[in-house]
């Protein structure tokens, strides 16, 4: 049998159904985001770990120019090395069967007996036949983007030699979860892919028979990576070793790990906001309930119910709401986690998705939601049990008001009495008004953060592609050529301008710090590629000295005036110092640039070009690319528009989903906060608002008093939310500063306006619904009741 007091719990719930639902929805959002993001992060971590383990992702990588195969045994003998696999790796030009400009690829050899390190995951077709040298595996992204299928034939140029290979299968690799062409700013699956072929065939093409140029190592448990790296460097030094490194320098691994770190940060932040807001709403609603039920509480106490029974009674009410919200949130969280993990796995092409129910996370999240709701109810419950029965059964004395400080200063004088009612109420309960404003501020901040993602992408693209790199086509030559070889491209119809550049792979060293990148020589007056700072300023290239990305300066601890040791990784492998002239706080990748003449001097070579930037009439782009392909010395061309479009389409869907999800959450917070604030204000003011109606105030005038108070909350909350959003963004940007990209902590005015408008719209929707309460209120009932 249900006890009488428990029936009261259920009746109270029914009587306050709207507010109960609003609280439950806020808690559900907290649990959904908590479970969803933790489950997503865990699923991805597990998937990454399992993928790496099952496909034996190497711990240490090293490259050399040409090392004899015998060195492999000596690497294997190093302490801590569990498995060694050498390979031949080369860049390749791939003819696209569908036509169009050729793509570039990285082509890797697989050992005849099958890979034991960095084992490709076969998605379609079959593995390589060990007896054949004319087969190739193609990375999945490249295959999909170029509509390649097993059985198709592919023209591949390696080391200037053209071969036709048959696609045996489509594969993935833990080494290339995020496949990006070295030096490129974005991944472009159409223009760049990974190929695997037989060791014998590739070694013949690359003139590396009996030798290797790359080695991958798996470490034994407990091995010290730094020792192994030092050992490999020692062994490969005589063979043009380029420096061994761990997974931390593998671009693909870094992208995935950075993403997971950001996901974990979000997993804490967003649910915390919801929990805080929900706890606040619970405290306001329950305070109000306890006030209206004052006499009932007194009567219960008079009947002999103790403080514990009364406290438990209200705790039950809150717990039912919290558990209902928690259950809803758990279902939503699992669904959200599954969908998010799925889309991440698709984005990174993870072949395994280890999503689990995460019962533990669900239980913890629901308990956290329950704890937040109970914490919010604490003050009201404590007040309820402290009321002395005799006092409780008398109606509450009229609320005490006194002139506020502002008003004594004369600030209220121009206000109408209705406006003074609002101002005095806000002044009488400033904490409640501030917390309500804080709830709205959180909603605004969430929206600002959500839309900032799109802002940041636009800004990076704008800065990098409209201001800094304005070429339409980048042409790379098979070998360095004299300037005349590049400048003659100007004669192609449709080409408007040609600017040559020289680029060499280098290791930059300063003290014990080093970084591998390309050193690029450009003409100081170059107009197509320019140095641009984060705030969009174009910086002229100094005639002498090195210009580094500010991030690279930070990594090397190098400031203007410092000398950096340069080690060229090709040709005669020059080494020597260069002085840093300037640091530029650019946004994408890290660059080392100097004037072409200074680079030629440093390299001790004549005036040579590695490639050229072309400005091309858009109508002639295809024709120009076709003509360029006919030239034997052109290794490849990259059309900027195509790569930007590919990047945008890659990221756009993702960002859109993210913005939609956060946008919906922000709107829910705003609506929840406003609904409860309006409900409570309405309940507290019902009597005086009815009096105003009797005095002859119209419904619209009454509604304005109600809306005015909420308007004050919004007026405080929205600017605060913009500031809070700016803070979140600064925090995110500071955390996301890597050598791969920097996020500018700049938010467009439109983002602030949109966030404010959405919150205002949610507020307006609730206030519009409140016109119904005003319309339905029974004047006579309100005036006759004592409270």
Partner 1 sequence: MTTTAQAVAGRAPVFAARGLEKVYRVGEIAVPALRGVDLDLYEGELVVLLGPSGSGKSTLLNVLGGLDVPTAGTVTWRDHDLANPDERLLTRYRRDHVGFVFQLYNLVPSLTARENVALAAEIAEHPLDPADALARVGLAARVDHFPSQLSGGEQQRVAIARAIVKRPDVLLCDEPTGALDVQTGRLVLSVLERVNRELGTTTVIITHNAAIAAMADRVISMRDGRIVREERNAHRAPPEALAW
Where on the chain is the footprint of partner 1 (CB under 8 A)?
A: 397-403, 416-418, 420-421, 424-425, 428, 687-688, 690-699, 701, 779-780, 783, 786
CB of 683 to partner 1, least distance (A): 15
Residue whose C-alpha is closest to residue 173's, from 250, 249, 242 = 250
CB of 682 to partner 1, least distance (A): 15
- Looking at residue 741, the DSSP 8-state letter turns out to be B
CB of 703 to partner 1, least distance (A): 13
- Nearer Cβ to partner 1 (656/700): 700
Contact indicator for 217, 67 with CB cutoff of 8 Å: no
CB of 772 to partner 1, least distance (A): 14
CB of 407 to partner 1, least distance (A): 10
Contact indicator for 748, 448 with CB cutoff of 8 Å: no
CB of 6 to partner 1, least distance (A): 25
- Nearer Cβ to partner 1 (399/482): 399
CB of 376 to partner 1, least distance (A): 26
Residue whose C-alpha is closest to residue 741's, from 99, 184, 4, 107 = 184
CB of 387 to partner 1, least distance (A): 19
DSSP code string of 512-538: TEEEEEEEEEE-TT-SSB-EE-TTS-E
Contact indicator for 75, 235 with CB cutoff of 8 Å: yes
- Nearer Cβ to partner 1 (421/522): 421
CB of 326 to partner 1, least distance (A): 37
Contact indicator for 383, 292 with CB cutoff of 8 Å: no
- Nearer Cβ to partner 1 (349/424): 424
Helix axes 251-292, 640-695, angle to 10 degrees: 0
Residue whose C-alpha is closest to residue 280's, from 358, 377, 366, 345 = 377
- Nearer Cβ to partner 1 (221/696): 696
CA distance 641 to 465: 9
Structure tokens at 619: 């109508």
CA distances from 26 to 274, 286, 770 (A): 6, 16, 20
CB of 694 to partner 1, least distance (A): 5
- Nearer Cβ to partner 1 (523/684): 684
CB of 434 to partner 1, least distance (A): 18
Contact indicator for 672, 26 with CB cutoff of 8 Å: yes
Structure tokens at 20: 């109960």
- Burial letters for 75-87: b for 16+ Cβ neighbours within 10 Å, e otherwise? beebebbeebbbb
CA distance 339 to 347: 12
Structure tokens at 620: 């002639």
CA distance 31 to 363: 10
CB of 695 to partner 1, least distance (A): 5
In angstroms, how far is CA 113 from the centroid of its own chain? 40
- Nearer Cβ to partner 1 (268/783): 783
- Nearer Cβ to partner 1 (149/408): 408
Rounding to the nearest 10 degrees, give the CA dihedral for residues 747, 749, 750, 752.
70
CA distance 203 to 511: 37
What count of other Cβ atoms lies within 10 Å of the Cβ of residue 545?
16
CB of 656 to partner 1, least distance (A): 47
- Nearer Cβ to partner 1 (402/633): 402
- Count of CA atoms in the C-beta half-sphere (13 A) of 773: 23
In angstroms, how far is CA 551 from the centroid of its own chain? 19
- Nearer Cβ to partner 1 (691/748): 691
Tokens 């704890």 belong to residue? 371
Residue 590 buriedness (CB in 10 A; 0-12 / 13-18 / 19+): buried
- Nearer Cβ to partner 1 (375/393): 393
- Nearer Cβ to partner 1 (575/698): 698
- Nearer Cβ to partner 1 (3/413): 413
């Amino acid at each position: 049998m249900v006890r009488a007091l428990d029936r009261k719990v259920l009746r109270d719930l029914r009587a306050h159904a709207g507010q109960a639902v609003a609280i439950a929805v806020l808690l559900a959002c907290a649990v959904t985001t908590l479970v969803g993001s933790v489950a997503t992060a865990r699923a991805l971590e597990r998937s990454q770990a399992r993928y790496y383990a099952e496909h034996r992702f190497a711990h240490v990588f090293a490259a050399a120019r040409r090392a004899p195969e015998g060195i492999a045994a000596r690497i294997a003998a190093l302490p801590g090395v569990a498995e060694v696999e050498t390979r031949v790796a080369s860049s390749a030009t791939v003819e696209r069967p569908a036509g169009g400009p050729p793509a570039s690829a990285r082509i890797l050899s697989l050992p005849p007996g099958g890979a034991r390190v960095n084992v490709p995951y076969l998605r379609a077709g079959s593995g390589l036949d060990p007896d054949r040298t004319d087969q190739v595996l193609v990375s999945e992204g490249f295959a999909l983007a170029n509509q390649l299928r097993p059985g198709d034939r592919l023209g591949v140029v390696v080391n200037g030699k053209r071969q036709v290979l048959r696609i045996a299968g489509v594969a993935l690799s833990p080494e290339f979860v995020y496949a990006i062409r070295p030096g490129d700013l974005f991944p472009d699956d159409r223009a760049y892919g990974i190929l695997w072929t037989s060791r014998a065939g590739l070694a013949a093409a690359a003139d590396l028979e009996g030798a290797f140029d790359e080695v991958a190592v798996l470490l034994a448990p407990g091995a010290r990576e730094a020792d192994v790296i030092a050992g490999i460097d020692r062994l490969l030094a005589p063979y043009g070793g380029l420096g061994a490194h761990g997974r931390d320098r593998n671009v693909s691994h870094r992208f995935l790990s950075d993403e997971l770190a950001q996901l974990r940060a979000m997993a804490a932040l967003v649910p915390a906001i919801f929990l805080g807001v929900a706890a606040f709403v619970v405290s306001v609603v329950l305070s109000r309930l306890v006030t209206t039920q004052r006499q009932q509480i007194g009567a219960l106490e008079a009947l002999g119910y103790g403080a514990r029974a009364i406290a438990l009674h209200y705790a039950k009410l809150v717990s039912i709401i919290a558990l209902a919200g928690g259950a809803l949130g758990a279902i939503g969280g699992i669904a959200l986690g599954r969908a998010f993990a799925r889309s991440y796995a698709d984005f990174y092409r993870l072949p395994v998705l280890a999503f689990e129910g995460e019962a533990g996370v669900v239980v913890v999240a629901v308990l956290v939601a329950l704890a937040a709701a109970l914490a919010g109810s604490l003050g009201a419950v404590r007040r309820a049990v402290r009321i002395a029965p005799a006092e409780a059964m008398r109606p509450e004395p009229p609320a005490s008001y006194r002139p506020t400080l502002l008003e004594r200063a004369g600030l209220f004088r121009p206000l109408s009495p209705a406006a003074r009612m609002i101002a005095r109420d806000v002044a009488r309960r400033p904490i409640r008004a501030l917390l309500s404003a804080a709830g709205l501020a959180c909603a605004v901040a969430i929206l600002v953060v959500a839309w900032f993602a799109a802002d940041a992408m636009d800004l990076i693209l704008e800065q990098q592609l409209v201001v800094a790199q304005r070429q339409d086509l980048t042409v790379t030559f098979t070998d360095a050529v004299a300037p005349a070889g590049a400048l003659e491209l100007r004669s192609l119809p449709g080409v408007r301008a040609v600017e040559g550049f020289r680029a060499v792979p280098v290791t930059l060293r300063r003290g014990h710090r080093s970084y591998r990148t390309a050193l690029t020589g450009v003409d100081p007056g170059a107009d197509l590629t320019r140095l641009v700072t984060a705030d969009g300023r174009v910086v002229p290239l100094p005639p002498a000295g090195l210009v580094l990305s500010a991030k690279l300066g930070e990594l090397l601890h190098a400031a203007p005036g410092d000398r950096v040791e340069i080690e060229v990784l090709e040709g005669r492998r020059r080494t020597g110092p260069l002085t840093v002239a300037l640091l530029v706080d650019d946004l994408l990748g890290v660059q080392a640039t100097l004037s072409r003449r200074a680079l030629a001097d440093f390299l001790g070579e004549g005036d040579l070009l590695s490639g050229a930037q072309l400005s091309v009439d858009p109508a002639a782009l295809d024709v120009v690319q076709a003509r360029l392909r006919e030239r034997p010395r052109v290794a490849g061309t990259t059309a900027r528009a195509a790569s930007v479009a590919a990047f945008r389409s890659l990221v756009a869907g993702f960002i859109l989903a993210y913005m939609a999800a956060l946008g919906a959450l922000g709107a829910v917070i705003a609506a929840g906060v406003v609904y409860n604030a309006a409900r409570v204000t309405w309940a507290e003011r019902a009597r005086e608002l009815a009096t105003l109606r009797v005095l002859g105030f119209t419904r619209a005038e009454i509604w304005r008093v109600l809306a005015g108070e909420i308007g004050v909350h919004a007026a405080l909350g929205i600017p605060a939310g913009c500031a809070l959003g700016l803070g979140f963004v600064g925090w995110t940007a500071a955390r996301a500063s890597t050598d791969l990209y920097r996020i500018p902590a700049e938010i467009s005015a439109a983002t602030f306006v949109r966030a404010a408008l959405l919150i205002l719209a949610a507020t307006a929707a609730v206030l519009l619904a409140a016109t119904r309460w005003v319309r339905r209120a029974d004047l006579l009932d309100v005036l006759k009741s004592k409270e």
